[in-house]
Structure 1
Amino acid sequence: MKPIITIAETTLPDGTVLALQEHDGRRFLLSDKVQIASPATRVSERELARIACAPFRPIRQPRVMVVGLALGELLEGLAEAVPQKRATFYVGEASEQLAEWHREFYPDGTFATDKRVFHVKGCDTAALNSLDAPLHGILIHADTAPVLAKGRGLYEDRRWLSVAYDSLAEGGLLAVASSRRVPKMDRNLENAGFEIAYHQIEANPHARRPKLHHLWLGRKGEYVGHQ
């Protein structure tokens, strides 16, 4: 039996222990010994980026924020879905240590090599308000993104959703994926002003009994292309 190897570990300011582990060639990110990113979320992270960013393919300079760096799968999916050289990708990640792990252990990854990527210190309302131009998209995977106090997701916070709405350009999308149904997700997005579309994603298309993950797209107003 192959051992579990702890590649790196750190304690965050709030006391949370964050660890990067590897087993049989597969890597996992754990928060207080609970997996928050792994090969199990890879497909839905990539599909989240592909589906959510499809409307932005004609835009010359799309601006998209990824909420939380995790293992980088969502960012990798974004880079594939949005090939424009003048795009801007903001990665909202409060942990500088996690950013350093990517530079050290994923030196060929998008976060370390793509000049379109900018690291934003955090993904809270202050981080959104710090951006100097409206976003075309905000991408969150509920399993891998940072959470608020008591384990609540940002997408469950009225104030954060309101600021996210204001941070988007007309026609911009807030996209949230999750391995489970999120209670009141539709209502939370509607109350913030978004028009909602719902999709299901096969977490592993090659499995005999594919598990479905969930994707909500919240649109702000009417889409305006070619910006």
Structure 2
Amino acid sequence: MKPWEILAQAPAPDGGEFVLHHRDGEFVIRVRGQELMSSRVHGSEEEMARLASAALGGVPNPRVLIGGLGLGYTLRATLDALGPSAEVVVAELAAAIVEWNRGPLAPLAGRPLEDPRARVEVADVRRVMRSGAPWNAILLDVDNGPAALTRASNASLYDEPGLTTAHSALAPKGVLVVWSAGPDERFTSRLAQVGFSAETHQVRAGKGRGTRHTLFVARRRK
């Protein structure tokens, strides 16, 4: 088996380092040796977009926020699921991730950042969440979910105050979709406490194969 090739390295916001690896057409981004994202499997990221689109139920001119650019698969699937009048904003804290998505990673998901409906902001998703008009949908694929965190600071996105911010940022009947490496009953309870009606979906990392991931689909009750 061929060894991994390091294509690029960049400081991570918490003082660690993002490392972009490539081998035989597969791209992987790691932090401290831990795999954060891989082009090998991305079915659960695409399912996030499908579930969010279905929950919107044909809302005209939807305004959608994606927390975390990753390798661009969630953005691509969201754009494919929505109509020509959609506005999709991606909040990505790491400038290097955006740069790589405009460079060597761009072809993986069909260059979604070049779509005129998409805009990326190099900023904390919590700040972007509170900006402008209410969002019809918020998709959070930040870190490895509410529990399996690689950055302790991301916990504030998934705790009760963080979820209250998301709830307030959504339009009436808006939907929050959260990606998680695994199930988390305490997180489901927190969603209910702040005013969401939540359900969980177990989906494969790949299309019909691979590890099962958990998607939380939370609808604003009012």
Q: Same fold (TM over 0.5)?
A: yes
- 1:134-163 deviation digits (Å, cap 9, x = unpaired): 101111235557968526445522222111
CA distance in 2, matches of 1:104, 1:127: 24
- Compare 43-52 and 139-148 and name the one that shifted more: 139-148
RMSD: 2.4
Deviation at 1:40, TM superposition (A): 5.6
Q: Secondary structure at the match of 2:15?
A: coil
Q: Does 1:62 align with 2:52?
A: no
Contact 2:201–2:214 (Cα < 8 Å) also in 1: yes
CA distance in 1, matches of 2:198, 2:68: 22
1:213 is matched with: 213
The correspondence of residues 34-113 of structure 1 with structure 2, limited to 5 A, is: 34-39=34-39, 41-56=41-56, 58-82=58-82, 84-108=83-107, 109-113=110-114
The one-letter code sitting in structure 2 at the alignment partner of 1:159 is P
- Compare 197-206 and 46-55 and name the one that shifted more: 197-206
Deviation at 1:49, TM superposition (A): 0.9
Identity %: 28
Q: State how many pairs are aligned.
A: 218
Structure 2: any 5+ residue segments left out of the alignment? none
CA distance in 1, matches of 2:39, 2:12: 24
CA distance in 1, matches of 2:41, 2:135: 25
CA distance in 2, matches of 1:148, 1:2: 28
Gap change, CA 1:178 and 1:19, over 3 Å in 2: same
Gap change, CA 1:12 and 1:204, over 3 Å in 2: closer
Within the candidate set 198, 201, 207, 1:199 is matched to: 201
Within the candidate set 175, 178, 181, 1:179 is matched to: 181
- 1:145-204 deviation digits (Å, cap 9, x = unpaired): 796852644552222211111110001111112231225111111122111122221233
- Compare 189-198 and 37-46 and name the one that shifted more: 37-46
CA distance in 1, matches of 2:133, 2:121: 14
The one-letter code sitting in structure 2 at the alignment partner of 1:100 is E
- Compare 177-186 and 59-68 and name the one that shifted more: 177-186
The one-letter code sitting in structure 2 at the alignment partner of 1:105 is P
CA distance in 2, matches of 1:78, 1:88: 10
2:169 is matched with: 167
1:225 is matched with: none
Q: Secondary structure at the match of 2:124?
A: coil
Q: Does 1:14 align with 2:14?
A: yes
TM-score where L is the length of structure 1: 0.85
Deviation at 1:117, TM superposition (A): 1.0
